[in-house]
Structure 1
Amino acid sequence: MSDNTPDSSVRERAPRRMRTDARRNIESLLEAAKTVFSTAGVDAPAKEITDLAGVGVGTLYRHFPQRSDLIKAVIEREIDACADAAPALAAAHEPGVALAKWLDRFTAFVATKRGFAAALHSGDPAYDGLPGYLMQKLGPALESLLEAATASREVQAQISAQDLLYAVAKLCAPMPNEEPDYGRRMVALLVEGLRSGSSPH
């Protein structure tokens, strides 16, 4: 029994360590890909991504066999982070401020997503589920903030979460001869409009 116990213990622990290492590698690759894509585009060499992540090219292709797999995972990770920010902001700020800060974060996400436009509009079916994933994750996150701000009378109750997401996306559309911060300023005006028509406490 004593001879088998250590081996059994090692066998139980080893898979857990491998899963932890794999998760760490995936997170490093996604963070590196986000950085590289934002500066060099989605067609950047794989080695540029793996060098920044500190892993081998084989590790990249083991987790993301196709470039579309990596692009999709990067976008989903950013959507998840945006959704996760909602409860944190709600806990740290008054409802109206939390809503404004979350919309500013979503605006930054939309601006970053423009770098993926060519890939997302390529017709690759790998990206077909992303719009639904975005609404599934961000719709409830924004709805909770919007409801709290409405209940506190800090914003008007005349817009749905879905309409607000669409409005921000439209306002962030690239405009000729405008500075990169144009979309963020337009969204700030939208938020100010929502708040200016609210009733006093």
Structure 2
Amino acid sequence: MTERRLRADARDNRERLLEVAAAAFAREGTQTSLKAIARAAGVGIGTLYRRFPTREALVEAVYRNEVDRLCAAAPELLGQCPPAGALRAWMERFVDFMAAKEGMADTLRAVLLSEVDRLHTRDRLRQAIGTLLDAGAAAGAVRADLAPNDVLLALGGITMIAGAEQQRKLASRLIDLLLGGVLTSVHSGPR
């Protein structure tokens, strides 16, 4: 769906709604109160429904926005940190993304994701991690023989094992283990 250009205040409202809804869905699932989301975003329920006419439309928009943010983070992180640090930071964001997605899983399965959507999302995520791996390999920080899909699958496994919020520290420890196999020996020392 292409959205017409929004006024700055309408765009800000939309972004706040998406941010608040993402946090609420991750915390409470998609059955959380839409009135509470609107209130937390500082807008009226009418504003929420004008932007997202159904709960499913809001879930879909949140999901797509989170995928966009995660994919855009790869080059942004490379501009802020060395490649090994950017890769680790992106992996942490990926785990957070997957935890948020878990809160939306039932609704996403029911209304959103066709096989084409899932493949497109995976391709975008592979491209993002590929950007980080390529930059790391060029800098000598990451092994050059890695396939982005393999690293993405390993990250997916971490999120399955440590998906619950109380397991977040475990996810970080598992990311450290994964990085032990991804980084070159020169860059795999203590962080």
Report the TM-score when normalising by structure 1: 0.78
Partners of 1:32 and 1:52 within 8 A in 2: yes
SS at match of 1:127: coil
What root-mean-square deviation, in Å, do the aligned CA atoms of Structure 1 and Structure 2 show? 2.8
- Take 2:45 and 2:166, find their aligned partners in 1: how far apart are those partners? 37
- Take 1:83 and 1:168, find their aligned partners in 2: how far apart are those partners? 15
> Residue 159 of structure 1 corresponds to which residue in structure 2?
146
> Residue 159 of structure 2 corresponds to which residue in structure 1?
172
- Take 2:144 and 2:76, find their aligned partners in 1: how far apart are those partners? 23
Q: Greater shift after overlay, 68-77 or 107-116?
A: 107-116
Is residue 95 of structure 2 the alignment partner of residue 95 of structure 1?
Answer: no
> One-letter code of the match for 1:127?
L
> Which ranges in structure 2 are unaligned for 5 or more consecutive residues?
none
Partners of 1:76 and 1:130 within 8 A in 2: no
The alpha-carbon distance between structure 1 residues 133 and 184, as it changes in their structure 2 partners (threshold 3 A), is farther
Which residues in structure 2 correspond to 1:16-165 (within 5 Å)? 19-121=7-109, 123-124=110-111, 126-128=112-114, 130-165=117-152
The alpha-carbon distance between structure 1 residues 61 and 176, as it changes in their structure 2 partners (threshold 3 A), is closer
Number of aligned positions between the proteins: 183
- Take 1:49 and 1:158, find their aligned partners in 2: how far apart are those partners? 45
Runs of 4+ in 1 over 3 A off after TM superposition: 174-179, 196-200
Partners of 1:90 and 1:145 within 8 A in 2: yes
Partners of 1:107 and 1:187 within 8 A in 2: no
The Cα of 1:61 is off from its aligned counterpart by 1.5
- Take 1:104 and 1:155, find their aligned partners in 2: how far apart are those partners? 17
The Cα of 1:119 is off from its aligned counterpart by 2.1
The Cα of 1:190 is off from its aligned counterpart by 0.6
The Cα of 1:49 is off from its aligned counterpart by 0.8
> Which ranges in structure 1 are unaligned for 5 or more consecutive residues?
1-14
Report the TM-score when normalising by structure 2: 0.82
Partners of 2:142 and 2:182 within 8 A in 1: yes
> Residue 4 of structure 1 corresponds to which residue in structure 2?
none
Q: Deviations over 1:147-177 (max 9, x none)?
A: 1111222222232212221220122104699
- Take 1:70 and 1:177, find their aligned partners in 2: how far apart are those partners? 23
- Take 2:133 and 2:46, find their aligned partners in 1: how far apart are those partners? 44
The percentage of aligned residue pairs carrying the same residue is 35
The Cα of 1:179 is off from its aligned counterpart by 4.6
The alpha-carbon distance between structure 1 residues 177 and 34, as it changes in their structure 2 partners (threshold 3 A), is closer
Q: Select the structure of larger CA radius of gyration.
A: 1
